A and B are shown apart, each in its own frame.
Chain A
Amino acid sequence: MFPTPTKLASTAFIFLAILVTSCTQLAPRYDAELYADLTEVNAELMQFFSSVSHGTSKDSYKERSQSYHSLIGKVDALAMQSNTRPIPNKKTLKKINNYLGSADRNLIFEEQPPSVASLQKISSSLNKMREEDEDKGLRSGAVALFKNEVIISMDQALTYESFLNR
């Protein structure tokens, strides 16, 4: 189905608006320090999972308590750092979203970088793991599940942050 003249005019208006601003930026700037910190905390996470891969006992939780809090704190700080970067062309993004919304498209671009949600997920996974470890201890199967959760979310955060290096 061909777009209506109104839709074509709206699209042309958005493109014209972007053209006027020449080079545009729809996503945050690349932060080399954030990316380096992400890879560093990722290595620490994998080291931690390796140390508990055979499962844990709640009796020895105190030995791991500091590691949990340190890792959760670092991941939370990285989520904050990722979220505080400004998007230079917020107005352009808003115009595109207004068009997509008015045209009943299901795709709306968010201002918040997706790596924030992924890092928040890692934090909540570690929190849940810490609670379970403290209350009951963890069997190796549960550790493997928490580890894979962290791998999935960290892959999302690392891929997006690396993609911003354009």
Chain B
Amino acid sequence: MSLDTNQLISNIKDAASSVINHNVAEIRGFSERQLSALALQAQLIAKAIISNEIGEDLRDYFLDSLEDMALNFAKTLRGLLAVTIEKVWNAIIGVIWSAIEACTGISLKVASL
């Protein structure tokens, strides 16, 4: 039995697209929440400064803090990206190995995560 490469390519595309579509939706939701919360923080800082609710010391702290949180947001996005790459890769490998198993009749025993 020969391996149908056109079918294999189509299966790989489907597997990768399924993972990407699902993960991108989750990442988009997270990004929107974070951006809204960071914008709210900027608004709260401005309001607190105008109404003298915070002194100079706290003002500087909150401004520095905003940068730290933006950096952590970027780090989290990078972490989510690494997990997405891992899932895409494993989905592709799973499809390829299954195709080879079906073609050769040999069990390749893909380890589950």
Contact = CB atoms under 8 A, between A and B. Distances in A.
Contacts of A107: 78, 81
A139 B113 CA distance: 49
Interface string B80-113: 1111011101100110010000000000101111
Interface string A112-146: 01110110010001001000100000011110110
Interface of A: 18-19, 22-27, 107, 109-110, 113-115, 117-118, 121, 125, 128, 132, 139-142, 144-145, 148-149, 151-153, 155-156, 159-160, 163-164, 166
Contacts of A145: 41, 44-45, 48, 54, 58, 62
B78 A110 contact: yes
Contacts of A23: 90, 93-94, 110-113
Contacts of B72: 114, 117-118, 121, 153, 156
B83 A142 contact: no
A142 B76 CA distance: 26
A155 B27 CA distance: 12
Contacts of B58: 132, 142, 145
A97 to B, nearest CB: 11
A148 B44 contact: yes
A128 B64 CA distance: 13
Given A23-B112, A142-B58, A155-B34, A160 B65 contact: no
A30 to B, nearest CB: 9
Closest 5 CB pairs of A and B: A141-B53, A141-B48, A114-B79, A114-B75, A26-B86
Contacts of A114: 72, 75-76, 78-79
